[in-house]
Amino acid sequence: MNILITGGGGFIGSRLAAALRKKHPDARIRLLDVGFPNPPGKSFDCTTGDLAAPEVIASALGHDTDAVFHLAAVVSGGAEADFDLGYRVNLDGTRALLEGCRKLARPPRLVFASSVAAFGGTLPDVLDDSTTPAPQTSYGTQKVISEYLVADFTRKGMIDGRSLRLPTIVVRPGKPNLAASSFASGIIREPLAGAVSECPVPDTTGVWILSPRRVVEAFVHALELPSSVWPTTRVVNLPGITLTVREMIDAMGRVAGRETAERVKFKPDPRIQAIVRTWPVRFRTERADAMGFKADPDFESIVRDHIESEKAAATA
């Protein structure tokens, strides 16, 4: 099997690469990204370059790629701040990748990382599989357009596409990024590391959450499912759990102590609040549940997972 992961130098991409290597030890796994701050090791082929450049796509894909995971993107806050960059990477880059897949010897399976930022505006209290996307950010708009492209290229037999609308992924390690949802990891990651975290949204803010472990499992599962079980839209909302910021902090306190929870300080940021307010909080994910996708059991298990992952990384 020959596999390409765009965004393979990032946190989720690198974890996905490791999971695929464990599951498919003989596969050729290629990673494409603008940079690789943490070299992934000799068992992976790396291509550094611009996703929107057709020659870079052609080099990364080769002629015989069987599976593509499209994770690369300018994140939500970055896409909102830099309109042109967001469209060039998130939309033009996706189109370039799909055109590259169209030229392969056989249609590859392609798993696309979309987002619940696809939804916005006036929403029901609980969204379900019939809720129509109405994004209120450039990032969400770019994701929805890309979902339609994945579905249309699939309809034409050029790829076998599968789009996953991801919840907010918590806890992300490392430094904060430009994602508007970055605070959701920061209020856990920094206090657990002994540092103060400034939260830009009120503690009543709700978030639809999935752990890094579960999202990697979801990507692998999406690749393995037969084409016949996917809806015509080729997209599903992944299961998650809904928590307020206060519930997240309290859960961390139960795992790591009250003094850890007290390291979260609130510093309002109207720009972040305006973006986060447009995001949905509660879903019924009957389609994804029936397809075998799984949510986390509770937030305490997510916190413990992060603690164990950090310990493992420190001793590696």
Q: So which residues are the catalytic ones? A: 139
CB 239 within 8 A of CB 222: no
> Which residues neighbour 58 within 8 Å (Cβ) at sequence distance 6 or greater?
100, 103
CA–CA dist 99, 63 (Å, integer): 13
- Please calculate the CA angle 72-74-80 and round it to the nearest 5 degrees: 155
CA–CA dist 242, 60 (Å, integer): 37
Helix (H) or strand (E) holding 265: strand 264-266
Side chain identity at 170, as an amino acid letter? V
Which one, of 96, 86, 154, lies nearest residue 117 by Cα?
86
DSSP state for residue 89 in the 8-state scheme:
I
CA–CA dist 77, 236 (Å, integer): 23
Tell me the two tokens of residue 65: 């790629």
CA–CA dist 58, 62 (Å, integer): 6
Which one, of 138, 235, 233, 166, lies nearest residue 16 by Cα?
166
Burial class (CB in 10 A: 0-12, 13-18, 19+), 15: middle
